[in-house]
Chain A
């Protein structure tokens, strides 16, 4: 199975801050990577697919980059609605696997 390692597991930030989350795959996954956002009590929402493509309706302050084994998710200017938990997920091989999540909290 492909292991997905996210860091940090949590971070504290303020509105307007730049936030960066890392995701590392245990083997080459090309660009077969999703980023999801989940708010408490809600279902995950797909933000980015193919490592860097924004899903329809996702604001441009969110972005993804990387290929192979190392990936980054960035929020350029954190907004109040961005406080949530973020997960990466690979879909190059079965089983589909997720990172452990990164909780973005208010400082």
Chain B
């Protein structure tokens, strides 16, 4: 059974940095893309970004709202995915979820996560 556990959330001041971790078990971590999503309090779901497996180059994709500030990486030897968040803003306040997935190559050639399983989430509060 796929299990994902996020950690690293907390209260942080605007402009500061925070790194979230997501440790996976129950599957061959290195074979799967890992994604991050977030949900602001009382709001809907928002995709943050994902990292492909090494098989597909380990490349990353990001939402426009976080591009240049957030970085996703992975350590397959430890089965951990990371979300490094820099220059945090109050609007980044949310529960952050990681997910693991299968790989889909769409008709348009996009290599994307497919049929994902999510962790329980970790709360990040950006406030002075």
Contact = CB atoms under 8 A, between A and B. Distances in A.
Interface of A: 30, 32, 36, 38, 42-46, 49, 55, 87, 89, 91-101
Interface stretch (B8-16, B79-87, B105-113): B105-113
B47 A43 contact: no
Nearest to B102: A49
A45 B45 contact: no
A44 to B, nearest CB: 6
Contact of A32 (B47, B106, B117, B118): B106
A43 B61 contact: no
Contacts of A96: 47, 112
Q: Is the interface of B mostly helix, strand, loop or mixed?
A: strand
Interface string B57-71: 000010110000000
A99 B108 CA distance: 22
B121 interface: yes
A90 B112 CA distance: 11
A50 to B, nearest CB: 9
Q: How large is the interface on B (under 10, 10 to 19, 20 to 34, 35 or more residues)?
A: 20 to 34
Given A49-B115, A89-B45, A94-B61, A43 B110 contact: no
A97 B107 CA distance: 18
B115 A87 contact: no
Complex A-B, nearest 5 residue pairs according to Cβ-Cβ distance, in ascending order: A96-B47, A43-B118, A98-B45, A101-B44, A95-B63
A49 B113 CA distance: 12
Contact of B64 (A42, A46, A95, A100): A95
B119 A46 contact: no
A45 B46 CA distance: 15
